[in-house]
Structures are given as structure tokens and as C-alpha cells.
Amino acid sequence: MQHGFAKLSKGPDTFAVILQGMGVPDPHLMAWLTILTELLGGLAVLLGAFVTIVSVPMTAVLLVAMFKVHLQYGFSSIKLLAVTATGAKFGPVGYEVILLYIACIAALVIGGAGPFAIDGLIRQRFEARTSTGTRTSDVQSVATRKLDGSVPTIRVRPKAGSVLGNAVQLSGLTRKGALAENPGSTQR
């Protein structure tokens, strides 16, 4: 987000001139798209919202920055030029930091934004429903023990009168079909 704020504070036209000098097509549009990607994408990652979606334009911006700006300065992100009375003087930044940013974005996409992120809350809400759109209250769990006495397995059977139960009855799956696994039980 900081990079987007810096570009916005200096003015999008200033950044567009830099993009034009680098040979980027339609520099004014690209300046605004870059600024918005950095601001909104950074905010989305901070909140953990739609991380997979915003990772695509964010990675594109990072790759353009790496190949157009940072690649010519080598890998290292820290180039100490001199130490003066006023402090350390550093040279241009290489592409090491860009690869680190891309790795962080990839880690968030692969591992998820976390349970307390907005994506995690959306995922929890989505997982509360099964893939058939059935609410968890529409099924009942029946524990059965195998004949050899091994660890019980859980079988999920639709409740009679529920959305899923009605669908099973309409499809013709009865005790002879999918529910025949536990012939001693009765459907409620």
C-alpha cells in the first residue's frame, strides 16, 4: 500500500511520465491501474479478503517492476555505497525484494489467508453448507460398528422431510439403494 500512496501523493501524472520513459503503452491508464492495484490489493491482503483474486494483478505489477526496473541492478536488495557522518548511503535496490513479495503472495494463495481473515470467514460460511446446498441440520449422523468391532465409521443419512431427504426419495434411492448400507436402521 505504501508504494501506491507514494505514487498517488506525487501525482499519477508524474508516475505516468516515468512509465512513458520506460516505454510502457498507455502510460496514464497504466499509472492509475498500478496505483489502484497497489492500494486496493494491499488493503485486500491486509484484511485477508479475496487474496487469490487480487494476487494476480499484484503479481503482474511486481513482475513488470522486476523486469523493467530492478533487474538491471542485480539480485541484492542492499547495496551499501558508503558510510558518511549523516549515515549509510545505499544504491539502487535489486530484484531480491520483488521475489520476496511474490513468494509472500504465493504463500498466502497456497496456504490461505487464515481463519480470522475475511476469506477464512467466507470459507467457514461456505463449508457450513454441503456441495448440494444442504444445510447441516438437514442430515443426521448414524454411528455403526463394523462386524469385527473396529473403529466406528460415521455414515450420514438424510432426515426424512428435509430437502436432501426429499431429493433422495424422489430419485428412487431407498433402502435398496444408497441407504441399504445399514439395513437395521429405519429412516425417520
- What secondary structure does DSSP assign to 44-104, as a single string? HHHHT-SHHHHHHHHHHHHHHHIIIIIGGG-S-S--EEEEETTEEEE----SHHHHHHHHH
| pLDDT given at position 163 | 56
Residue 135's SS3 state is: strand
Check residues 161 and 54 and name the one with the higher pLDDT: 54
One domain for residues 111 and 141: no
H/E stretch holding 101 reads helix 96-111
Q: Is residue 18 in a domain? A: yes
| pLDDT given at position 177 | 46
User: Hunting for cell 494476487 — which residue is that?
Assistant: 55
pLDDT, one tens digit per residue, over 56-65 is 999 999 999 9
Number of domains in the chain: 2
| pLDDT given at position 109 | 92
One domain for residues 123 and 144: no
Q: Is residue 187 in a domain? A: no
- State the pLDDT confidence band at 158, using cuts at 50, 70 and 90: low
pLDDT, one tens digit per residue, over 82-134 is 999 999 999 888 999 999 999 999 999 998 888 788 988 887 777 777 555 55
Range of the domain at 170: 136-181
Residue 59: CB partners within 8 Å, gap ≥ 6?
A: 102, 105
One domain for residues 15 and 108: yes
Rounded to an integer, what distance in angstroms lies between the CA atom of residue 143 and that of residue 184?
Answer: 12
Check residues 138 and 119 and name the one with the higher pLDDT: 119
Q: Is residue 186 in a domain? A: no
pTM for the whole thing? 0.62
One domain for residues 116 and 153: no
